[in-house]
Structure 1
Amino acid sequence: MSTKKTILITGAGSGFGEGTAFGLAKLGHKIIAGVQIAPQLTELRKKVEAAGLQDNIEVIKLDILDKYDVALAVKRDIDVFFSNAGIGESGPAFEIPLDLVRGNYETNVFAPLELSQKFAAKWIREGKNGKIVFTSSMGGLFTPSGYGIYVSTKHALEAIAEALANELNPYGIKIQTINPGAYLTGYNETMAENAFRWLDDEVNFTKRADMKANFDSLLGTPEGRLDPQEMIEAMIEIVPSDEGKFRNVVPQFVEDMLKEHQLKAWENRI
């Protein structure tokens, strides 16, 4: 394990972000846990106090789309920026409303890039080494039907991360991605439900029942409902480490599937 670090985590109000914040704090790292909305502040602070981790976890409001939250966050002196916040829009790419597409990109691509640019510039000016870790997805490397827009944001994030890794290497700034499989945090299930806000059987070619059947086929299997603790334990190890792989897919069977999928893509025909 690396030396103790100060780590800023976005999207720390639930799921992977929350679990990783607590796990890292228990190892002695100093965590700045950013949450999106004010009610999450109170709830997470209660959990921190109950766990006796007040000296290691500071909970702040950090809506990555709020320029005032971002300005305050970038003033922090940190060693690692763990860009974990994200949202997911689902539904057929040929019918989804474009305002939802734009919103998904604002949260999953533009905001993480802006924060990364700001921290990178700060570290370069200070002559300090730093590290940025992005929560990507298995969907950053393939595209399942019904999730095309969401995973396209992760495809974009993969490209940005690879560019940053090359560009920031001369400054001693390291970049990694973490690519979770289908873990049962509630995130994927909520994303699937989002399509039904706008899908209308009287308007859309894609019918609601068909969309639900598609989602159930992907998320209703054991492979689509993995124990998130496995991913959290991996994040606890990856995020503060000074060495490791650029891309980190968990679990192994998903990495194997993705490699096979990418090889087969060269033989795809129309």
Structure 2
Amino acid sequence: MTGRLDTRSYPGVGSAARVAFVFLYAPLAVVIVYSFNSGPIVSRWEGFSLVWYREVLERSDVRDAVWNSLRVAVVASAAGTVLAMLAALGIVAMIRRGSSLAVGFLSTPLLIPEIVTAVGTLSFFVLLDFGRGMATLVLAHTAFCIPFALLPIRACLAELDPAVFEAASDLGASGIRLFRRVTLPLLVPGIVSGALLAFIISLDDYLISAFVAGPTSTTLPIFLFGLIRRGASPLINAVSTLLLLVTIAVLTASYITAKWRKHK
């Protein structure tokens, strides 16, 4: 038997796919629709209105939470991506067994339950007598962004032809010049994809942020959880819809970057 396996011919596959699609995206559709509800009750539609989006723009606590999340996500994703790039380059230079151990060690945070990471991070900061605030948030987010940024960078690095580096070395390029003129430009698509992925992970994180954030460093996920505890409101839907739009924009940029890398 040759050719690609056609799973569409299997009985029940189409129906299961449609059910899964509805299960995944119906809640998002409800959030978006009810973000335009004019009434104060989430579960009862009272008419179309932009009042909750206007309240998002007018409330200072919402703006502060958004600003905190953006600052942490930008700094943590940038720092995490740089460290991930250096780690990827270091792994390539290792022997086979050492590189496997290094990849496994760096990928471990993806497998560890996030609550364990959160407790461990908090305990580490307490041991060092760090006061919880923006600095602890950035450090914690940088640490867990590294594995996510490493994935696309390693994938991009694995696709590079070693002959390119050999040719550059034969032409006299070495050290910093080889990295700046050859390696870095070829890694740009993977670096961009890794940075965007790390940005989304950081922007979305609640659990670790809740453990290491201080009273003046509330991020948007922490702020939304606080609103939910006081009762559901269409304001939560409006903020969630805006956050969803940002996520879609970043993922679209990551997809375009990956396509560009593939066809370059």
**Shorter-chain TM-score: which interval?**
under 0.3
TM-score, structure 2 length as denominator?
0.22
TM-score, structure 1 length as denominator?
0.22
Bigger helix fraction? 2
Larger Rg: 2
Q: Which has the higher contact order (CA 8 A, sep 6+)?
A: 2
